[in-house]
Structure 1
Amino acid sequence: MASRLAALSRGAPRVAYFYERPDTSTFRYRCFNMIESLGLAEPGIGAAWFSAEDLEWADRIIDRADTIVICRARYTPAFGRLIATAKSRGRRVLFDVDDLIFDTRFTHMVMDTLDQNTGEADLDFWFGVMARIGETMRLCDGVILTNDYLARRATDFCGLPCWVVPNFLNGAQLDVSASIVERKRASGWRRDGRIHLGYFSGTPSHNRDFAIIADTMAELLQRDRRLVLRIVGFLEPKGRLAAMTDRIERFPLQDFMNLQRLIGEVELNLVPLQDNTFTNCKSELKVFEAAITGTISIASPGFTLKQAIEEGETGYLAPAYRWEEVVLRAIERLDDYPRMAEAALAAAEERYGPARQAKAITAAIFGG
């Protein structure tokens, strides 16, 4: 706490980020990376993160901050007091969210997309969580989101001003990925004769996304002995794939540094995604986290994914009915892989490097 208060106090203007509890996903993208970006590009700004456990020191934090950003937090009386106190002292209070998890009109869609059970306890949980997140959002002065599609949903929900700051890479990811790419370049992009198709699942809730390509993957693995399917995370292969254990590499959930290494070892990163309002609110992080390691993605053409990929130049887009065709085309074009991988890498560095986000962050949090 002392070091974080000092970080908040050492510059001007000052922003305090609040997140319920630091975790391995949203906290990194929407708090940690934001603070790192500001430190790289705007070194005079004071910035620090805090958690729900720190709310007992809310007065001291508010006194030192010009803006409070609350990330994806469920309503509690303590967060309500934080917002009310900050506003009463003339502080700007914003809400940051990276997913359509604030509007209960979409709860049924969220649960269905994530393949959740629909018992009474499950319904109470999901409707309760989304309602509480939405209530925290409504109490704030504005909302920061990851893309324009999600911003439109937030405007429809709460009518507050919205700003878009995409998810992006941090310095540690860039460093480890740079070493991966240098090894690829030094080897002349040499491969081992196999063709690795990677699916990287951060949560246990992507069963229905992977189902889009499961039969296609089984068919391709059966027909082409060069192909290896790498699965990282919680996904359990089902159907025909369940019996193909000798063709599937399994890895448990990884920390974000080791994940870059595993992504960098595959030729083709698979990003299937269902097509609905909830999934179109998702960010493009699976594409740029692969691109920065020199790995090309094949992705469903969701709102952000099709913006992150230049078809046939930095990757491939595959509607649900064309996955086999697109994967085969990508395999046939592997001789062109180094050029495409370098193009995807350059695009990721240009659009998703941490220092390049500071202007959008400061415009949102300080009203610039």
Structure 2
Amino acid sequence: MFLHGVPRLDYADPWALGADARLAQLCRPGRIRIAYYYDHPDGSTFRYRCYNMAQVINARMPEATASWFFQADEAAVLDRMAEAADVLVIARARYSERLNRMITRARQLGRRVIYDVDDLVFSIDHVHLLMNSLDQELTEANWMYWFGYVGRLAAVLHLCQRAITTNDFLAARLRELGPVADARVVPNFLNREQMAVSGRVMAAKRASGFARDGRLHLGYFSGSPSHARDFEIVAGSLAALLRRHPHLVLRLAGYLQVPAVLEPYPDRIERLPMQDFCNLQRAIGESEINLVPLQENVFTHCKSELKFFEAGIVGTLTLASPCHAFRQAIRDGENGYLVRAMDWEERLESVIGRMDAYPALAEAAFLSSREHYSWEHQVAAIRRAVLED
């Protein structure tokens, strides 16, 4: 896909504020103060569940102010945060004595304490399924790690009064399995920076009439190697398609190991290193088709639809397994495609043969992503989840 005029960005984390600046942001006078806490800053859970939330609150909710804090912040900073905050949101953080003290102090002061979790990682009954889904070896060391990890997350959840999560399927699991009856939904969504770079990518594609360079790029943007079992679902179909269609190119981003069935096509496989979240939008936009194969089980039904809207907002068409979130986001044949495990080759063949329909489908995916998953449209959900009784 041609992307004239959209160079790779010089990127710096927008959340790299010092602790004093973050405290000052939280403590603006005359507002409800909402503090987000996560173990460490990263471009995944922290970005979606802390930074993005604070961005909406500070820009669109005049009654409130928000900031974010980390395990590495000094004890004095966290103590001041716990004293100042009216609402404390703990995002998927693991139990520690220090975190326990912080939550206990906030509750003694009558503050609302909420746990935000974006995966089925709070039930030890599902550890075996989680490990299998993530392609983890069933070794003694891994059993120790994953039971400890899930158990520590669950321990913090038990200290909180409410939960927030990414979709209604996972919210139902929280009510069923967790200690909190009150579980509310704020979806993952695109922040202001993603929207800005994605707008430039989409404008370039429209200006070119969705022109291509003679090749058709199938993108798989997994990031981590833990998605190997998901990719196995589609690997054989991709090998057959690469064999039949010389113009196809497979673009793999992140650390995924190329399966043996695809090894005969090294000159048709592009490997991209891990991308920061803004340049990832450019890389997705350079692909015509976004592949999201997932195992179908209770763990993957708890996943969010972010792989759909990250692609849709740059006019890239998504084919995804029919897990819960994708069934909510994708209208099959209108703004993307839902593909059962046995149908990947047939469905991809059909899409490849009808690329004349691509611009209309890409525009529909863009509109769905902008209308439902842009940061400006999340105010009501955040206010309902964080502030309302």
How far is 1:300 from its partner?
A: 0.3
Q: Identify the residue that residue 240 of structure 1 maps to in structure 2.
A: 261
How far is 1:55 from its partner?
A: 5.9
Unaligned runs of 5+ in 2: 1-18
User: Which among 95, 99, 106 is matched to residue 86 of structure 1?
Assistant: 106
**CA displacement, residues 304-352 of structure 1 (integer Å, 9 cap, x when unaligned):** 0111111111011100010011111211221011111111101100000
- Residue 129 (structure 2) pairs with residue 106 (structure 1): no
**CA displacement, residues 179-232 of structure 1 (integer Å, 9 cap, x when unaligned):** 011111111111112111000012110000000000000000001111110001
One-letter identity of the residue aligned with 2:158: R
- Residue 75 (structure 2) pairs with residue 56 (structure 1): yes
**CA displacement, residues 127-147 of structure 1 (integer Å, 9 cap, x when unaligned):** 000000011001100100000
Q: Identify the residue that residue 286 of structure 2 maps to in structure 1.
A: 265
Would you say how many aligned residue pairs link Structure 1 and Structure 2? Answer: 368
Unaligned runs of 5+ in 1: none
User: Which among 155, 163, 169 is matched to residue 190 of structure 2?
Assistant: 169
**CA displacement, residues 49-89 of structure 1 (integer Å, 9 cap, x when unaligned):** 00112361333112211100000001001111111111110
How far is 1:109 from its partner?
A: 0.3
Q: In 1, Cα distance between the equivalents of 2:230 and 2:46?
A: 24
Could you say what secondary structure the match of 2:188 adopts?
coil
Could you say what secondary structure the match of 1:189 adopts?
coil
Q: Identify the residue that residue 13 of structure 1 maps to in structure 2.
A: 32
Preserved CA contact (<8 Å) 1:55 1:82: no
Q: Identify the residue that residue 359 of structure 2 maps to in structure 1.
A: 338
Q: Identify the residue that residue 227 of structure 2 maps to in structure 1.
A: 206
Q: Identify the residue that residue 29 of structure 1 maps to in structure 2.
A: 48
User: Which among 151, 160, 176 is matched to residue 156 of structure 1?
Assistant: 176
**CA displacement, residues 251-308 of structure 1 (integer Å, 9 cap, x when unaligned):** 1111111111110011100000000010100001011000000101000000001111
- Residue 96 (structure 2) pairs with residue 97 (structure 1): no
Q: Identify the residue that residue 76 of structure 1 maps to in structure 2.
A: 96
Q: Identify the residue that residue 4 of structure 1 maps to in structure 2.
A: 22
Q: In 2, Cα distance between the equivalents of 1:239 and 1:25?
A: 29
How far is 1:159 from its partner?
A: 3.8
How far is 1:360 from its partner?
A: 1.0
- Residue 299 (structure 2) pairs with residue 278 (structure 1): yes
One-letter identity of the residue aligned with 2:27: S
- Residue 332 (structure 2) pairs with residue 314 (structure 1): no
Preserved CA contact (<8 Å) 2:223 2:256: no
Preserved CA contact (<8 Å) 1:13 1:46: yes
Q: TM-score, length-normalised on structure 1? A: 0.98
Structure 1 consecutive aligned stretches of length 4 or more whose deviation exceeds 4 Å = none
One-letter identity of the residue aligned with 1:124: M
User: Which among 144, 164, 168 is matched to residue 164 of structure 2?
Assistant: 144
